Structure 1
Amino acid sequence: MLGLSGIGNLFAPPLSPQAVYKWLSAGVPAGRVLAVCEATGWQVTPHVLRPDIYPNPSDGLPASGGGANLHGTNNPDREAA
């Protein structure tokens, strides 16, 4: 699994390990959730990191055909807000 430096290096410009460490208490920023989950091979889900914006366990996970649905749902029939 990625350490603080490894997670920070996923972003451009890279984030310091201290900045990533702050996420432990403040929460992962909404715009970074999917990138962190993808980097962990989806072993950590958006629901685990931010249940406030991904309330269902399957929200934000990649659809069976590929990339993550950025609207927080895997339901293709749901309209974006």
Structure 2
Amino acid sequence: MAPHDDVFTRPPIDGALSGLPNWRYRLGGLVTIYKTPTTADALELIAAVGRLSEEKNHHPDLELPLQPRVHAALPRTTRAVK
């Protein structure tokens, strides 16, 4: 397989995004923000994403800013993301 054979093109990404409210395609990856009631809830969300990421061996970028919300980014949009 060539290095970029697993990278999606824009049409399938746009089709998938139609079923994913609040997710956007930005800078070659998918991004969203999850708002949570408390910082503790945001930390629980990050832990759950971390567990799933380990299982799938695909690791998103996660940020926890001062407000209780989580910024999530899948930096490279490949067929491995499910």
Normalised by the length of structure 1, the TM-score is 0.26
Which protein has greater RCO, CA pairs closer than 8 Å, 6+ apart? Answer: 2
Between Structure 1 and Structure 2, whose CA radius of gyration is higher?
2
Normalised by the length of structure 2, the TM-score is 0.25
Specify which structure has the higher proportion of helix.
1
